[in-house]
Amino acid sequence: MQLKLAIIGCGTKATQYIQTWISRDDIVISAIMDPNDKAMANVCQIAAGANKTAPLCFDSWETLLRDQCAALDAVYICTPHASHAAQALLALELGLDVLLEKPMVTTVAEAEALVAAQETSGKTLVVAYQGGLSPLVNELKDAIANQTYGPLVSINAAIWEDWADKYQGHWKQVPAISGGGFMFDTGAHMMNTVSKITSQPFSRISAMMQNLGFPVDVVTTVSGELSDGTLFNLHACGRAIRCVSRIECYFPTAIVRICAWGRWMEIEDAQGNVVRKDQEAANNLMNVFMQTRLGEITNPSDVRQGLRMAQLWDAVKLSASQHGAPVTL
């Protein structure tokens, strides 16, 4: 059975996925919307190069959803963060399943509205955290829960990117649209993966931020503990080289390292032997979404997890605004 898919937002990230999804026989990209005509023209060229029919193009996401909902199964939303809530709410109201880019929303109120809408509609909403959908992240989650390497002792996580200069003047650095800076953009992958692997709520945190002259946070550090008492550190640096992440989980018998996107995992034993595993991301994201909407697996990145992330981000901002004063979640 083919998935009839619409795509709202055809920027860099969406285009990367489109280049992979367009050649699949089980997906039909039926309609697209982007305020930039060149972006939509680029998608049509990709379709032509894959010998696929060009999708219908719209200049309004509302028009696309309302006019095409009867002919669609689902929508992938890849737009600026502040637009996510309204677009996902309408899609659910119209009976569509939703694959929604991270972060799910920018406020707790928006998250609560999406939780209610999803539960009322009964439709599927998957938040597109590659880490949250990664088999490697879920393998590590199970290992922690089963104490495969003994009890989890602590977590040290970092993520860095040449983000501040690369996105200078971009919507990602406009607070009203982005909802935050580097920690809420790329750093959200790290926060979500740490939350996912531990299966424990964040209990208390202390955060510090620096803007480094930019309109949003560029460097953020968070120290805290989970509800079971496990201590963790999160460090996000948006003025560095490349885009890299390393999350280290310490156990009595091993150190397990994984990236925020779940693309690789390394297991080091007491003798220093390292086993590395790798995972492809683009098709996995869509495969997990399709399996979830068909009821074949439990949603690994649902609206409830999106709500927890919104609550964490509010706590980070509150603590940082109080010069690192501890905040209880």
Q: By C-alpha distance, which of 23, 50, 1 is closest to 283?
A: 23
Task: Quick: pLDDT tens for 195-212.
Answer: 999 989 999 999 999 999
Q: 128, 147, 180 — which closes off a domain? A: 128
- Examine residue 42 and state whether it is found in any structural domain, yes or no: yes
Same domain, 84 and 21: yes
Q: 74, 93, 128 — which closes off a domain? A: 128
Q: Coil, strand, or helix at residue 61?
A: helix
CA distance 231 to 18: 39
Q: How many CB atoms lie within 10 A of CB 193?
A: 27
Assess contact for 183 and 216: CB atoms under 8 A.
no
- Examine residue 288 and state whether it is found in any structural domain, yes or no: no
- pLDDT at residue 1 in the model: 80
CA distance 244 to 131: 13
Mean pLDDT for 40-64 is 97
Which CATH number fits the domain that encloses residue 187? Answer: 3.30.360.10
Domain that holds residue 269: 131-279+301-328
Q: Coil, strand, or helix at residue 56?
A: strand
**Total number of domains constituting the chain:** 2
- pLDDT at residue 290 in the model: 96
Q: What is the CA radius of gyration of the chain?
A: 20
The mean pLDDT of the chain is: 96
Task: Quick: pLDDT tens for 118-134.
Answer: 999 999 999 999 999 99
For the chain, percent of residues with pLDDT exceeding 70: 100
Task: Quick: pLDDT tens for 106-116.
Answer: 999 999 999 99
Same domain, 198 and 66: no
CA distance 260 to 263: 8
Task: Quick: pLDDT tens for 257-273.
Answer: 999 999 999 999 999 99
Sign of the dihedral through C-alpha 124, 125, 130, 131 = negative
- Examine residue 66 and state whether it is found in any structural domain, yes or no: yes
